[in-house]
């Protein structure tokens, strides 16, 4: 029932202006490097035009690639504060038995991956992901130009992520590298200001108080395992997935654990539905399932998570320079749920996320909505 309510609320909020918001955010991020993936998106759309003549089973191509758009915003909860917007574009190539020689985004990291023997198991499937995105954070009152000492700093990050994954039908390991920039060079301020003008929302006037420019880097390791699995891609079924991950870097350092459960019709044989985070998430199925994948699926999901946070630049402030900061909470919890829809080679996930307070002076927990669309080609 919770997930159905989530889906209904999100559906009502996905109006024309929200769609325009998504598109315009992509255009603004073009200025800082997102254009690299625009060609991939166009290619995906061209690939999928002839794919809607499905009979009983999907006839998706077997190149084993996906392209995913993630969009998160607090507008779904009638808010404009805290974590206010997130946009992420992810390309994935899966079903690999060896590291390919034609992936220029990852080739420079191959020596490290081979040195640590990350792919030592010959039985696991190899997966590569590349993502680019931008996250925006603001205090509750965005109309004042004054520094709000008891609320979080204005901050934004634009980043790129390189993910290496190995997976079987029941578990997946992830090793990722994230590099980016925090501060005015992320263009987060310009993204929000221009979008708010076009949508006639409140003008954010406090960006002069944002964090200063700082290059950021982070290493992430994640692990997911299916504790229970039944009826995957074969009618009604469900699964339960335990996930744990850690991130070490000057932007964010944390360790988290969580539990996700899904139930529905033709649940995909992937590693679950997750919001924007480090390089631990992608929406690719196990390669062998493509040969008998059903063309339609619908499932509900619910997840609980807990995180221990040692470092958060968006609350603690700049690492090497003086900046505004607040006292963060060391333990954060979150609950989210929603609905996943699969039609042929397209997977759409709608969800709402509830997150406990992140810092001491935060007045109330945050709620925001999330939508992701994955194209398989």
Full set of structural domains in the chain with CATH: 2-49+64-376 (2.40.128.140)
Identify the pLDDT of residue 81: 78
Identify the pLDDT of residue 282: 58
Condensed to tens digits (0 to 9), the pLDDT of residues 213-235 reads 999 999 999 999 999 999 888 89
In this prediction the pTM is: 0.81
Condensed to tens digits (0 to 9), the pLDDT of residues 236-265 reads 999 999 999 999 999 999 999 999 999 999
What is the distance between the alpha carbons of residues 346 and 362, in angstroms, rounded to a whole number?
38
Identify the pLDDT of residue 18: 40
What is the distance between the alpha carbons of residues 256 and 330, in angstroms, rounded to a whole number?
12
8 A C-beta contact, residue 13 and residue 75: yes
316: left (phi over 0), alpha (psi -120 to 50) or beta: alpha
What is the distance between the alpha carbons of residues 62 and 150, in angstroms, rounded to a whole number?
53
Q: Count CB neighbours of 74 within 10 A.
A: 19
What is the distance between the alpha carbons of residues 196 and 181, in angstroms, rounded to a whole number?
23
Tell me the C-alpha to C-alpha distance, in Å, between residue 278 and each of 220, 270, 362.
7, 18, 24
pLDDT tens per residue, the chain (377 residues)? 334 343 444 434 334 334 434 343 444 333 433 333 443 443 344 334 333 333 445 445 456 899 999 999 988 777 777 999 999 999 999 888 889 988 999 999 999 999 999 998 777 899 999 999 999 999 999 999 999 999 999 999 999 999 999 988 889 999 999 999 999 999 999 999 998 888 888 899 999 999 999 999 999 999 999 999 998 888 999 999 999 999 999 999 999 999 999 999 999 888 888 888 754 555 556 555 554 456 899 999 999 999 999 999 999 999 999 999 999 999 999 999 999 999 988 999 999 999 999 999 999 999 999 999 999 88
Burial (Cβ within 10 Å: 0-12, 13-18, ≥19) of residue 360: exposed
């Amino acid at each position: 029932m919770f997930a159905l309510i989530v889906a209904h609320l999100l559906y009502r909020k996905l109006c024309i202006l929200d769609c325009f918001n998504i598109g315009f955010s992509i255009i603004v991020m073009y200025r800082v490097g997102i254009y690299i993936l625009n060609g991939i998106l166009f290619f995906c759309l061209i690939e999928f035009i002839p794919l809607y003549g499905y009979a009983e089973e999907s006839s998706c191509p077997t190149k084993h690639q996906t392209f995913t758009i993630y969009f998160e915003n607090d507008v779904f909860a009638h808010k404009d504060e805290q974590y206010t917007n997130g946009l992420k574009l992810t390309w994935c190539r899966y079903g690999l038995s060896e590291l390919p020689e034609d992936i220029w985004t990852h080739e420079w990291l191959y020596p490290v991956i081979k040195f640590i023997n990350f792919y030592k198991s010959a039985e696991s499937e190899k997966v590569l992901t590349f993502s680019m995105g931008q996250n925006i954070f603001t205090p509750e009152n965005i109309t004042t130009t004054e520094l709000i000492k008891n609320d979080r700093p204005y901050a934004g990050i634009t980043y790129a992520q390189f993910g290496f994954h190995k997976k079987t039908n029941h578990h997946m390991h992830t090793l990722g590298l994230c590099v980016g920039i925090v501060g005015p060079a992320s263009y987060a301020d310009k993204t929000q200001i221009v979008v708010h003008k076009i949508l006639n929302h409140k003008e954010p006037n406090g960006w002069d108080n944002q964090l200063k420019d700082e290059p950021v880097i982070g290493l992430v390791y994640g692990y997911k395992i299916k504790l229970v699995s039944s009826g995957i891609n074969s009618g009604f079924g469900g699964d339960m997935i335990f996930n744990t991950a850690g991130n070490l870097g000057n932007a964010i350092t944390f360790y988290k654990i969580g539990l996700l459960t899904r139930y529905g019709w033709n649940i995909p044989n992937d590693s679950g539905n997750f919001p924007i985070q480090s390089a631990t998430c992608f929406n690719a199925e196990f390669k062998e399932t493509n040969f008998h994948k059903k063309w339609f699926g619908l499932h509900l999901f619910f997840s609980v998570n807990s995180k221990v946070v040692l470092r958060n630049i968006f609350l603690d402030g700049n690492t090497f320079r003086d900046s505004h900061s607040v006292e963060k909470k060391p333990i954060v919890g979150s609950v989210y749920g929603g609905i996943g829809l699969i039609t042929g080679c397209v997977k759409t996930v709608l969800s709402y996320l509830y997150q406990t307070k992140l810092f001491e002076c935060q007045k109330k927990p945050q709620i925001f909505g999330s939508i992701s669309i994955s194209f398989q080609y």
